Amino acid sequence: MLLRLRRGLPGTQTDSILALAKELGYRARFLEGSNGLLHLEGTGKPEHRSRFEDCAGVEAILDAGDARERHERLPGQPDTVVAVGDARFGGGQVALIAGPCAVESGERLLEIARAVQAAGAVLLRGGAYKPRTSPYSFQGKGEEGLELLARARAETGLGIVTEVLDPRDVEKVAEVADMLQIGARSMTNTPLLAEVGATGKAVLLKRGFSATVREFLLAAEFLLARGNARVVLCERGVRGFDKTTRNLLDVGAVAHMKLATHLPVIVDPSHAAGRSELVRPLARAGIAAGADGLIVEVHTATSEARSDGAQAISAEVFAAIAKDTAAICAIDRRTLVRPHASPARA
């Protein structure tokens, strides 16, 4: 490991860093002629990096050496494939999640579920608990929404992806969900991450509004450290300086993460776009950049959507996205996972 110490550090601070290094089993040596570069020889562990990052006198970890974290892809390590119902994310398999922003009524949900399944979705999304910016906005239907989701699964056979906001709701939501979504606003909610990690359920972890890739991967590390390896990362656009689009879809982060971690990475073009007419090009861009799937907001009557309606697309546009996805996947021999026949239809 290589540490850069702060300039003009008092001797007591330097001593406490050297003592920590020794305690963790490293041999420490300052580089000649450098401004406080401390080289540690020895076998690193994931948690050591954070121990040094916590030290007052350490300005930066320039090289983490062996102190690898669980999300890191070792050279040659294959993708982790996360299976949820019929869906497979990673290892050249691409899957589509679609559905309304919020669960509104049973009929509407079922109508949308059938439409997205027919078009190519293998998982149904829909929020029962909605994180909102204003206390006066619609906050979701709660437990009633969960029941409607359970019914939609029974009718269609689609696995359910739904968000959980409150650690006290995890158990209840996990009874219905096949995949627990942790939203962008909750990426830093460590009590929630811990509770969700403990369920062992597949997790869809969204990147925070302005989370760096490292912070995003460390949020995943909270889940992995709890023993839950079924984590799918979701790039949903980051906050930018220009309001032309709602968020900036960070396709470079997608490409980087496909190299840096073994976890699957999907893209949410709906939240990145903020406007329905931009969803399809962003979906294409995400898949072309290497994403292992998409999560898309679809509504069969967009004018009546009670939340984020501006970005919901119709089932027809979603079908076009599914077709685009299959075609782009074919270019580099990836496979779009197809929905099975639904039990209701069988």
Interacting positions 92-131 with a copy of itself (CB under 8 A):
131
Binding mask 195-224 for a copy of itself (x = CB under 8 A): -------------xxx-xxxx--x--xx--
By CB under 8 A, residue 282 contacts a copy of itself:
yes
64 vs 83, beta carbon nearer a copy of itself: 64
CA distance 46 to 267: 28
- E strand or H helix at 27, and its extent? strand 27-30
By CB under 8 A, residue 41 contacts a copy of itself:
yes
By CB under 8 A, residue 284 contacts a copy of itself:
yes
Instruction: Tell me the closest approach of the beta carbon of residue 250 to a copy of itself, in angstroms.
Output: 6
Strand 202-206 and strand 179-182: the pairing is parallel
Instruction: Tell me the closest approach of the beta carbon of residue 88 to a copy of itself, in angstroms.
Output: 21
By CB under 8 A, residue 322 contacts a copy of itself:
no
Instruction: Tell me the closest approach of the beta carbon of residue 102 to a copy of itself, in angstroms.
Output: 10
Query: In a 10 Å sphere around its CB, with 0-12 CB exposed, 13-18 middle and 19+ buried, how is residue 76 labelled?
Result: exposed
Given candidates 30, 39, 110, 111, which one binds a copy of itself under the rule CB under 8 A?
39
Count of Cβ atoms closer than 10 Å to residue 339 Cβ: 22
Given candidates 23, 76, 175, 244, which one binds a copy of itself under the rule CB under 8 A?
244
Instruction: Tell me the closest approach of the beta carbon of residue 4 to a copy of itself, in angstroms.
Output: 7
132 vs 340, beta carbon nearer a copy of itself: 132
Render the burial of 212-247: b for 16+ CB within 10 Å, e for the rest: ebeebbbbbbbbbbbebbbbbbbbbbbeeeeeeebb
Contact call for residues 97 and 89 (beta carbons, < 8 A): no
